[in-house]
Structure 1
Amino acid sequence: MLQYKVVELSNVTEEAIEEALNEKVAEGWSFDGMQFSMRESSKRPSMAFLLFTRDQDKA
């Protein structure tokens, strides 16, 4: 059975994204995708959502 994990980042910097990716991959999660939440008044994302999966039988 496939298990999902969503990590929400309010500090959307290269370093914060790298840290979260490396942390979850080290825990056995596989990176599945990333979504950004944008504000109309800014070109930079205000939030990021990192999506991970893993086989629950291997967890």
Structure 2
Amino acid sequence: MLKYKVIELSTVTDETIEKTLNSATPEGWRIENIHFTMRDASKRPSMAFLLFTRDEPEDG
């Protein structure tokens, strides 16, 4: 069964993204997508949502 995990980052820097990726991948999670939200007045993202998946055995 495919399981999903979404992690929200309110501070979006290369360091926070890297830390999140390095903490989730050893647990078997695979990054599928990163979605950035922007503010009108800034070119930098205000938030990021990282979507991960992993296969887990089905519960009987």
Offset of 1:17 from its aligned partner?
0.2
Residue 34 in structure 1 maps to residue 49 in structure 2: no
Offset of 1:3 from its aligned partner?
0.2
What 5-or-longer segments of structure 1 have no aligned partner? none
Amino acid at match of 1:9: L
TM-score normalised to structure 2 length: 0.92
Q: What is the alpha-carbon root mean square deviation over aligned residues?
A: 0.5
Query: What do the CA deviations read for 1:18-45 (whole angstroms, capped 9, x no partner)?
Result: 0000100011101111000000010000
What 5-or-longer segments of structure 2 have no aligned partner? none
Counterparts of 1:1-59 in structure 2, within 5 Å, are 1-57=1-57
* Identity across the alignment (%): 61
Offset of 1:56 from its aligned partner?
1.6
Amino acid at match of 1:43: K
TM-score normalised to structure 1 length: 0.93
Question: Whose radius of gyration is greater, 1 or 2?
Answer: 2
In structure 2, distance between residues paired with 1:38 and 1:14: 16
